[in-house]
Structure 1
Amino acid sequence: MRRAALALLLAPLIALAAAAQPQSGFELMAPETQAMQRDDTANPGMLWVQEGEALWQQSGCAGCHGDAAASMRGAAARYPVYDEARAGPIDLAGRINQCRVERQGAPALALEGEPLLALGSFVAHQSRGLPVAPPADPRLAPARAQGEALFRERRGQLNLSCAQCHDDNAGRRLAGSPIPQGHPNGYPLYRLEWQGMGSLQRRLRNCMAGVRSEPFAYGAPEYIAIETFLMSRAAGLLLETPAVRP
């Protein structure tokens, strides 16, 4: 009897502790979609990874960094990082373009273009299975704070914030679909709705448009700030690139 009473008393605390743990959107997907992500022969995102591997060799990345499996292992787990030249955070796509321009003398790749998505997918894929580990760099604190403020800011004609969906109502359903916590541990990822690969910035723009708010332009510092916050919020989750989502 006492055990039953104690269990009832502890149940809310246990539920609260569980809710505080980051949960990947993978856990909320249908079993067939989970199976698609797990199987590299069925995961359509692997096509971009393979293309990225070819670009890694062709574009000269291998000349500086050598074998990506060794040199890029863990890289995606810690981005965005602080960049001296920008005096602020830089994301993985920005670093790839920075390397192209400054080290190779090549033009920057178009944001959200297929070549950059492919290279980003290939690089991030080298860290699949590693935990998200944002750097403990105090210089990132302003960007992280800005990102959190943007995450909690009500936007658009619907007057909704990211936090209202992905914090307050995570795990519930919206129009029949489960609401994830909104973690960035699978990007770039293949979204069945898009029938293609996309970056975190594309998803953020979709959400902003969904609440009838004007999205920022691709590459805007606001997106980098939001990603900086989201990666700290997702610390410990395993990277899944290329993830598959509905």
Structure 2
Amino acid sequence: MHALWRLAALGVAAICGIVSAAGTEDSAKRSGFDFMTPETQALQADDTSNPGMLWVLQGEQLWQQAEGRADVACAGCHGDASQTMRGVATRYPAFDEAMERPIDLAGRINSCRAERQQAEPLTPESDALLALTAYVAHQSRGMPIIPATDARLARFRDNGRRLFQSRIGQLDLSCASCHDDNWGKRLGGSVIPQAHPTGYPLYRLEWQTIGSLQRRLRNCMIGVRAEPFAFSAPELVELELHLMERARGLLVETPAVRP
């Protein structure tokens, strides 16, 4: 069985090519949008057709809905999201004082629920959490990603880079094996993108629903036959920190559509 997995790994490596630790030059950065068919691009570009907008609209309703023992809505503290949340998604994950580590946007929403609304946290990948996260991130659509510069994030971002470049699983591949070194080539009939997190939460045609970046990262780990990190694991947030740094300057697309 080990020999079979090794043979599979060699086959994937042959498709992907030789692995290096180099990243993509700024001048060559491209959103996953650029690798899609014109039909899928059109689906994302038209808000009346983009299925991810259903979750954005749900998030808008939840934003106004009082929750928890405090009986207060997100709007009760933050007001008009189109004003107060504009630009927020461009700089997350951010450092959390209480946790003494980075927190992603979905984590911040759940933190606010617990501390301000005195409500139970929303379950990872639940419609409600995805909807609120998509609604908040949508307010930054069209703005360039500008990762937080807090010096306290440096060691976590470094760990995210290490995780991105580390070979894992029975196929012995890293994220960089495909997304840094072999983007634009095909694997299993699909074009390999550069793995820039410009549109999450996004609607994936394969899933027929919206999903988080953490879901996508876990899918990739399963794809290389590795044990995936649990939802909300620190390692997934650290990976996002690194990915956002790689995507610096690209525009937020939430809710993006992908194949």
TM > 0.5 fold call: yes
Displacement of 1:196 in angstroms is 0.1
Equivalent of 2:63, from 56, 62, 74?
Answer: 56
- Structure 1 vs Structure 2 CA RMSD: 1.3
Q: Hey, what's the Cα distance between the residues in 1 that align with 2:24 and 2:132?
A: 38
1:164-222 deviations in Å (ceiling 9; x for gaps): 10001011111221100001110000000000000000000000000000001100000
Q: Does 1:105 align with 2:118?
A: yes
Q: Hey, what's the Cα distance between the residues in 1 that align with 2:255 and 2:60?
A: 13
Partner of 1:239: 252
Partner of 2:16: none
Partner of 1:31: 38
Residue-pair matches, total: 231
Partner of 2:98: 85
Partner of 1:125: 138
Displacement of 1:18 in angstroms is 6.5
Q: Which amino acid aligns with 1:207?
A: C
Displacement of 1:136 in angstroms is 1.2
Equivalent of 2:49, from 42, 45, 66?
Answer: 42
Where does the alignment leave 5 or more consecutive residues of structure 2 unmatched?
1-22, 67-72
Q: Does 1:73 align with 2:97?
A: no
User: What secondary structure is seen at the aligned counterpart in 1 of 2:132?
Assistant: helix
Displacement of 1:21 in angstroms is 2.9
Q: Hey, what's the Cα distance between the residues in 2 that align with 1:189 and 1:139?
A: 29
Q: Hey, what's the Cα distance between the residues in 2 that align with 1:136 and 1:19?
A: 18
Partner of 1:21: 28
Q: Hey, what's the Cα distance between the residues in 1 that align with 2:49 and 2:103?
A: 32
Q: Hey, what's the Cα distance between the residues in 2 that align with 1:119 and 1:197?
A: 12
Q: Relative to 1, partners in 2 of residues 1:196 and 1:17: Cα closer, same or farther, differing over 3 Å?
A: closer
Q: Hey, what's the Cα distance between the residues in 2 that align with 1:228 and 1:135?
A: 9
Equivalent of 1:211, from 224, 228, 232?
Answer: 224
Q: Hey, what's the Cα distance between the residues in 1 that align with 2:106 and 2:258?
A: 21
Q: Does 1:166 align with 2:179?
A: yes
Displacement of 1:22 in angstroms is 1.7
Displacement of 1:83 in angstroms is 0.6
User: What secondary structure is seen at the aligned counterpart in 2 of 1:130?
Assistant: coil
Displacement of 1:17 in angstroms is 8.7
Q: Which amino acid aligns with 1:230?
A: L
Q: Which amino acid aligns with 2:182?
A: N
Q: Relative to 1, partners in 2 of residues 1:151 and 1:18: Cα closer, same or farther, differing over 3 Å?
A: closer
Q: Hey, what's the Cα distance between the residues in 1 that align with 2:164 and 2:27?
A: 17
Q: Hey, what's the Cα distance between the residues in 2 that align with 1:18 and 1:173?
A: 20
Displacement of 1:61 in angstroms is 0.2
Where does the alignment leave 5 or more consecutive residues of structure 1 unmatched?
1-15
Q: TM-score, normalised by structure 2?
A: 0.87
User: What secondary structure is seen at the aligned counterpart in 2 of 1:190?
Assistant: strand
Q: Which amino acid aligns with 1:206?
A: N
Identity across matched positions, percent: 65
Q: TM-score, normalised by structure 1?
A: 0.92
1:89-118 deviations in Å (ceiling 9; x for gaps): 000000000000001101100011110000
Whether the 8 Å CA contact 2:24–2:180 is kept in 1: the answer is: no
User: What secondary structure is seen at the aligned counterpart in 2 of 1:136?
Assistant: coil
Q: Hey, what's the Cα distance between the residues in 2 that align with 1:98 and 1:67?
A: 20
Q: Hey, what's the Cα distance between the residues in 1 that align with 2:25 and 2:232?
A: 34
Partner of 2:11: none
The 5 Å alignment of 1:128-139 reads 128-139=141-152
